[in-house]
Amino acid sequence: MHETSSVPPHKIIGVAVIRNNQGQILIDRRHQKGAMGGLWEFPGGKVELGETVQECIKREIKEELGIEIEVGEHLITVDHTYPHLRVTLTVHYCCHLTGIPQPLECDEVRWVNLDELKDFTFPEANVEIIDALLKNAAAHK
């Protein structure tokens, strides 16, 4: 018998760190069913063929939360392998322009302060995003 190495599928994900005028960040809770159900995350989604990461982020936020954003500077790119999936998260700061965030494709949305992020349970790959946010905030004080 041959041993086959199972390589998990790879998804390239555009991720938004959306800030409001009060400096809070928008997070959402994943649906209970499915991979990493019930965990909190920064909104975003899979980059489609022929789409830039920035276009993906703008589209996904409109589809998932029903709001308009402006995609800003790149924060971090995180490569992470879960047992079932490999992800490359390309994270951009974004500004909330118009609309009230709605949980269209998630269970809940919430505006939180940066120091409150530690109170929520995120998927492993998001830990690096939170660390980058905290380092960046400390550097800009």
pLDDT digits (tens, 9 = 90+) for 59-112: 999 999 999 999 999 999 999 999 888 999 999 999 999 999 999 999 999 999
Three-state DSSP at 64 gives helix
CA nearest 64: which of 27, 89, 25, 22?
Answer: 27
Query: Does residue 43 have a known ligand-binding role?
Result: yes
Confidence bin at 5 (pLDDT 50/70/90): low
Q: How is residue 91 written in tokens? A: 């994270």
Query: Does residue 30 have a known ligand-binding role?
Result: yes
Stated pTM of the model: 0.91
- Are 117 and 130 in contact by the 8 Å Cβ rule? The answer is yes
The C-alpha atoms of residue 70 and residue 77 are separated, in whole angstroms, by: 19
Query: Does residue 44 have a known ligand-binding role?
Result: yes
Query: Does residue 64 have a known ligand-binding role?
Result: yes
